[in-house]
Structure 1
């Protein structure tokens, strides 16, 4: 456990925001701890959880010096929490994982090798889990290939799950997430791709994404409103450009396999 940055063994800073995750955060940590690549730091910011999440994090911290935990003074949302972790990151790479998701043991190692010296933004396919961590037998982005541009992602040609993303930190001038309560990850990927970089996909499902009953991904109306807000208010797209992109998004949301 070197926890140092070297060209052949770069440090990966893993970014997590958490809120009331007492039932899942330990599984997330175990998935990180079991990675085949072990030169990482896990930076977790708790958003004033009202359950025992903070106690679980303290127990994890006591036994693993690669873990760093922070706490917001007020409940502020995932964007603020992730940004606090990003500010503290020392790694050459940033990887993101939500507090209810899990990684396969080879995830970081495979992604690092895939990125090599010339890819600055990558993501993986993922498989869906139920609230109890059992597989639902469905994968997302596993039929994708190649890379995706800003225009591609405006039209949501890939789902690009937050917990699958890894980026080379010094390749982007600003990695801070827009201060949105929801959809800040998608808005961030657009901001990064607006620089002209491309997001390259690994179509192998290396991440498990947990579907929770109260997740925004289960509320299609809220998700659609969020998408429109990002087009108009965050990206500043003209009405007809927003409408064009939204129709692509809606078609894929309905017919995506």
Structure 2
């Protein structure tokens, strides 16, 4: 079984589409754990209505806002699946995503995998931008930059154990996938098919580059506990990768 984890906060505009993209999966052995982070809109009502229609959907309501990392960790702790996947409340999956990815992992004896994905705008229109998955992703390569789109990644919890996100405001997903590759002892494997759709929203933290230096320095210095000097070195290497290497994985069409 695949445990699909979704943190939820005030996503009434998008959550119904996200839920349907999971329910439309050709792979049916899944549970969808949605952790509501004290939303004050109609988000939970939408999830509750879908849960009445499909008992594979589980809603957990938090009494106060704790942040996306806490929500993902809480869902991870209660997850029952052999595999764990993540899908944010505004993103979508291709109907064949889980079937193709789980078959790919079983065929290739792989404990960490990810796929290519496409960008779309808030209205769901494709932005003609593809993020291509690398065929192989080593720990060293992932250490330099996050090459796994969180909405595409799957890891085998029955083999690696459950991996919790650290208590940092940003880059929690980078930390999770870096740890997954480390625990695996092998490179993550990329399925080079467009199997997910990432929604680019105006004003989102992920689309705001102004804080890029701060977030990534803290990732190395606070999360990985590197010295200030080492963190600066890895930060400079991150930017080399970000501006001169990673763009090779971005394709406009």
The question of a shared fold, defined as TM-score above 0.5 by the shorter chain, is answered with yes
* 1:81 partner SS: helix
1:19 matches 2:20 = no
Deviation string, structure 1 residues 135-161 (Cα, Å, up to 9, x no partner): 00001124x22x2122111111x5211
Can you give the 5+ residue segments of structure 2 that lack an aligned partner in the other structure?
none
The match for 1:175 among 147, 159, 163 is 163
Deviation string, structure 1 residues 175-220 (Cα, Å, up to 9, x no partner): 1111222221111112222333422111211100000112112111
Deviation string, structure 1 residues 100-130 (Cα, Å, up to 9, x no partner): 1000011000100110162000011110010
- In the other structure, the counterpart of 1:207 is 196
1:123 matches 2:114 = yes
Q: Is the 8 A contact 2:84 2:157 kept in 1?
A: yes
CA RMSD of aligned residues (A): 1.5
Matches of 1:223 and 1:120, distance apart in 2: 30
* 1:221 partner SS: coil
Can you give the 5+ residue segments of structure 1 that lack an aligned partner in the other structure?
1-10
1:91 matches 2:109 = no
Q: Is the 8 A contact 2:2 2:84 kept in 1?
A: yes
- In the other structure, the counterpart of 1:42 is 32
1:136 matches 2:124 = no
Deviation at 1:88, TM superposition (A): 1.4
Deviation at 1:74, TM superposition (A): 1.2
Deviation at 1:238, TM superposition (A): 3.3
Q: Count residues in correspondence.
A: 244
1:54 matches 2:17 = no
- Structure 1 runs of 4+ off > 4 angstroms? none
- In the other structure, the counterpart of 2:226 is 237
Q: Is the 8 A contact 2:116 2:195 kept in 1?
A: yes
The match for 2:96 among 96, 103, 106 is 106
Deviation at 1:240, TM superposition (A): 4.2
Matches of 2:181 and 2:230, distance apart in 1: 18
Q: Is the 8 A contact 1:217 1:223 kept in 2?
A: no
The match for 2:212 among 202, 223, 226 is 223
Deviation at 1:87, TM superposition (A): 1.4
- In the other structure, the counterpart of 2:70 is 80
TM-score, normalised via structure 1 length: 0.90
Q: Is the 8 A contact 2:76 2:162 kept in 1?
A: no
Deviation at 1:254, TM superposition (A): 2.9
* 1:225 partner SS: helix
